[in-house]
Amino acid sequence: MTTLVISSQKGGVGKTTVAVNLAYSLARRGWRVLLIDADPQGGVGFSLSEKAREAKGFFNLLDPTNDKDPRSLIISTRLPEFRLMMCGTADLLSGGEEPQDTPELRDQLRSLLSQFSDHDLIIVDTEAGIHGLTRAIMAVADYLLLPQQAEPLSARSMPRLLRHIAALRKELGEDASTPRLAGLLLTMVNGDDPVTGEIESDLRGMLPSELILESRIPRDPTFLNASRAGIPVALLHRKTPEAAESFDTLAAEVEDRIDLAKSSNEQESDEYTRLMD
């Protein structure tokens, strides 16, 4: 089981759109994916369905008085490999105050996530900002994926974001192997806007090439229409929208960056041997 946390320093970068559609694309590629909404605003629920918005979920499980089996709050979808856990009732914690990043909270998160080990991948959509609960979730993750809008503010805030992650790694200790950076993902890219192109060029010139994913998510009204319909963009029309291809490309790149592809090759090899016996 691998845990991939999607986080951003600021809101409005398309983080939840990335979480929903990347999870769906990876599930279509055969991985058993659980998408957890850890954003108190319930972005994943609003992006999917009324049933999802009203469901108990992640924050209910963090409530000290909780007696629910964590697996009972998982919601199945029509794609068997794609499962969901909504945010639930966020104001149950600390009297409605934001939880603090503490060793106890991190231990609680590790224990909770370990109960979903029958999944290949857990994707966690978090609240914007690198603090409190989001920071605790990042601390227990295997990998971090950081969506960044292709705009001037992102270019200016990038060093600060990376310093936050470096400080977290330092706090965890020199021997800590996680969290690792799956990459920075440029979102809302407008190919017809020369300013967007300049910003992308500046970011790629500012940072080592391995930090920025080759995949890019375009600015496309199709994503908004899919969100309104409560479905991943690939399901918006009978013919898969062209915009959905960007997430298929992203899924293939993420597979390689978080070692899922290696596991896939091993599984294929094992299956081939069995069929030849």
Given a cut of 90, whether residue 259 has pLDDT beyond it is no
What are the pLDDT digits (tens) for 6-25? 998 877 778 888 999 999 99
Report the run of H or E that residue 125 belongs to, with start and end: strand 121-126
Q: Would you kindly state where each structural domain of the chain is located, as residue ranges? A: 2-270
Report the run of H or E that residue 146 belongs to, with start and end: strand 143-149
* Integer CA distances (angstroms), 92 to 21, 56, 62, 89, in order: 29, 11, 9, 6
pTM value? 0.88
What are the pLDDT digits (tens) for 66-122? 888 999 999 998 899 999 999 887 665 655 567 889 999 999 999 999 999 999 999
C-alpha 12: how far from chain center = 15
DSSP 257-271: HTTHHHHHHHHHHHH
For residue 21, what pLDDT is reported? 92
Architecture of domain 2-270: 3-Layer(aba) Sandwich (3.40)
* Integer CA distances (angstroms), 221 to 86, 101, 161, 254, in order: 25, 37, 28, 24
Report the run of H or E that residue 122 belongs to, with start and end: strand 121-126
